[in-house]
Structure 1
Amino acid sequence: MIPNPAVVVLAFPGNEDLASELVSALGAQRGALTLHRFPDEETSVRVSGAVDQCDVIIACTLDRPNDKLITLYLTASTLRSLGARRVILASPYLPYMRQDRSFHVGEGVSAMHIAKWLSGFLDGLVTVDPHLHRIHRLDEIYRIPTRVVPAAKPIAHWIRENVAQPVLVGPDEESRQWVSEVAHDVPCPFFVLDKVRYGDRDVEVRMPGVAEFQDRTPVLVDDIVSSGYTMIAAVKRLQASGFGPPVCIGVHALFSQNAYEQLRHMGSQEVVTCNTIRHISNGIDLNRSIALSTRELLEHLPAAPNAAN
């Protein structure tokens, strides 16, 4: 593809592979982003290369989001000051989507607040399987064009290539939407466990009657593996019910503290994740799909509504 000087790709640290796919898919120029952290924890941003009248794609997955969000805002604002026409975020992991309602009196709905903020300084957003539950579509809370890259087909392909006679297992009711899609694409049967959460690290999982599947390899599938306690509880329940060692698959590998090591030591055959967040468990590559969705979004974007911000 002939390079397009009107499109520039910048990578936050750790997002270089995604940036390379974006450059290839878009025929874009590769820009350089330098971030400096001062002793007082403030950050300075420097962009190298011309971006005047360009569409700039920022490759930045937003795990551990708080510092990254401030730096993202500073980067987008710097690009505006340098004359960028539009600023688009390619963020494989989109944070704060699980806080989608007020669970206690006086509590804010963080998903809505972050969406309003990002919509104020970006012109487009591409992400992978955000945690949509009580919010059903990103356009319910985002005021900018968005694209969601589904992970179901790549996960199904991995299962077909690596697991004989699978039965897919959702660790809780919220996982049903992902598990059913993947099971359809494999194809194979699936069932969903019943989870009762008493706290962040106190989870009980109950098993439906599934004796007819015990000759199959259980494959646990969930969108986010954070504390790991939901999946760990599901592994324990499967083992107690007579299933063999499960394969554990997550879309987003947050893995707080020692969650990954705990899952590995529980007797799982394998723990595999998509590469939306860099982790040793990454085995399912979504970078090309993200890049192609970014190209499609860019081709359909209207004039830059945030250019004056």
Structure 2
Amino acid sequence: MLLFNPDSDPALASQLTRLLDAQAGILEQRRFPDGESYLRVHSDCAGQDCVILCNLFHPDERTLRLLFLADTLRECGARSVGLVTPYLAYMRQDKRFHPGECVSSRPFARLLSAAFDYLVTVDPHLHRYDSLDEIYSISSRVVPAAPLIARWIQTHITHPLLIGPDSESEQWVSQVAELAGAPFQVLQKERRGDYDVSVSLPDLEDAAQRTPVLVDDIISSGRTMLETIKHLQAAGLPRPVAIGVHGIFAGDAYSQLTEVADVVTTACIPHLSNQIDIAEPIAEAVQELLAHHDTD
């Protein structure tokens, strides 16, 4: 097996190379003066299972070269070409809210489905979709972050109270709470704009002796968590821990959050807040998909 890492996290690539007993694929990449990309594969990939690790948290910068690489590997005789992207982009626009809007999750899914044999990701934003199979035509595995987060909470927090910032988070926040053996609350959120969010707090009686643990799938602007933390502070609760599966931290979101909370993320998007490892379950998912591919 060959593992290629065109644009992403070298630490995760090193872990996956070891866990998959793979070789690191060798690439040459540069840009021409006009901004176009040059790509050359130096590894012999004929008859090889090839895996590309490409974190798509900046998708517009990375997708074109990713597609070029997948196509080149196929032309060079790769036996299979799979994609590992811990953060799967363009999942949030899953409905046409206004006439003429692009439901970008669908054309993006068609692009990736045409280029790869399988896909591995971590907790994609499945809001109005029941599964990736609704828009992706290739085999896929979703690595759940809930067990990894629950294990971290059990190890690092003595008396946690899990808090979901909105109703969308209830299903999986309750799962984390169950796995961690901790109580949970879910708040009610009203979003009036990208940076205008209000949160209502349920009754948190008897919670003052517990550490609030805010859990969300994506921390982008951070406004939801910041608003929630204001309410927790007003209720006299201790300094919270804010956990995100995907820490995007747009603008100054991270610095604002660290002023009022301890911030922890999974290693899905490389960041100094990464404390929750994802390599082992991703490697297991790749091995499962390859075994399935071999039987087809």
TM-score range, shorter chain: over 0.9
Aligned residues of 1:205 and 1:233 also touching (Cα < 8 A): yes
- Which residue of 202, 209, 231 corresponds with 2:203? 209
Aligned residues of 2:3 and 2:51 also touching (Cα < 8 A): yes
Partner of 2:93: 99
Q: Which whole-Å CA distance do the structure 1 matches of 2:121 and 2:82 have between them?
A: 11
Partner of 1:126: 120
- Which residue of 40, 44, 55 corresponds with 1:50? 44
- Which residue of 225, 228, 236 corresponds with 2:222? 228
Aligned residues of 2:46 and 2:76 also touching (Cα < 8 A): yes
Mapping 1:154-193, distance limit 5 Å: 154-193=148-187
Unmatched runs of 5 consecutive residues or more in structure 1: 1-6, 305-309
Give secondary structure in 2 for the equivalent of 1:212. Answer: coil
Q: Which whole-Å CA distance do the structure 1 matches of 2:295 and 2:118 have between them?
A: 11
Counterpart AA for 1:228: G
Partner of 2:282: 290
Partner of 1:86: 80
TM-score scaled by structure 1? 0.92
Q: Which whole-Å CA distance do the structure 1 matches of 2:169 and 2:6 have between them?
A: 30
Q: Which whole-Å CA distance do the structure 2 matches of 1:152 and 1:232 have between them?
A: 22
Q: CA deviation at 1:303?
A: 7.7
TM-score scaled by structure 2? 0.96
Partner of 1:198: 192
Q: Does the C-alpha gap of structure 1 residues 34 and 303 become closer, same or farther in structure 2, counting only changes over 3 Å?
A: farther
Counterpart AA for 1:223: D
Partner of 2:140: 146
Higher relative contact order (CA 8 A, sep 6+): 1
Unmatched runs of 5 consecutive residues or more in structure 2: none
Q: CA deviation at 1:241?
A: 2.2
Aligned residues of 1:249 and 1:273 also touching (Cα < 8 A): yes
Partner of 2:266: 274
Between the two proteins, the alignment pairs up a number of residues equal to 296
Aligned residues of 1:18 and 1:291 also touching (Cα < 8 A): no
Q: Which whole-Å CA distance do the structure 2 matches of 1:243 and 1:104 have between them?
A: 41
Aligned residues of 1:25 and 1:295 also touching (Cα < 8 A): no
Of the structure 1 ranges 84-93 and 34-43, higher mean CA displacement relative to structure 2 is found in 34-43
Q: Which whole-Å CA distance do the structure 2 matches of 1:73 and 1:251 have between them?
A: 26
Q: Which whole-Å CA distance do the structure 1 matches of 2:126 and 2:199 have between them?
A: 22
Tell me the percent identity. Answer: 49
Q: CA deviation at 1:295?
A: 1.1
Partner of 1:9: 3
CA RMSD of aligned residues (A): 1.4
Q: Does the C-alpha gap of structure 1 residues 303 and 54 become closer, same or farther in structure 2, counting only changes over 3 Å?
A: farther
Counterpart AA for 1:285: D
Aligned residues of 1:62 and 1:95 also touching (Cα < 8 A): yes
Q: Which whole-Å CA distance do the structure 2 matches of 1:49 and 1:166 have between them?
A: 49
Counterpart AA for 1:171: P
Give secondary structure in 2 for the equivalent of 1:227. Answer: coil
Runs of 4+ in 1 over 3 A off after TM superposition: none
Of the structure 1 ranges 163-172 and 209-218, higher mean CA displacement relative to structure 2 is found in 209-218
Counterpart AA for 2:106: M
Partner of 1:108: 102
Q: Which whole-Å CA distance do the structure 2 matches of 1:243 and 1:103 have between them?
A: 38
- Which residue of 280, 291, 295 corresponds with 1:299? 291
Partner of 2:35: 41
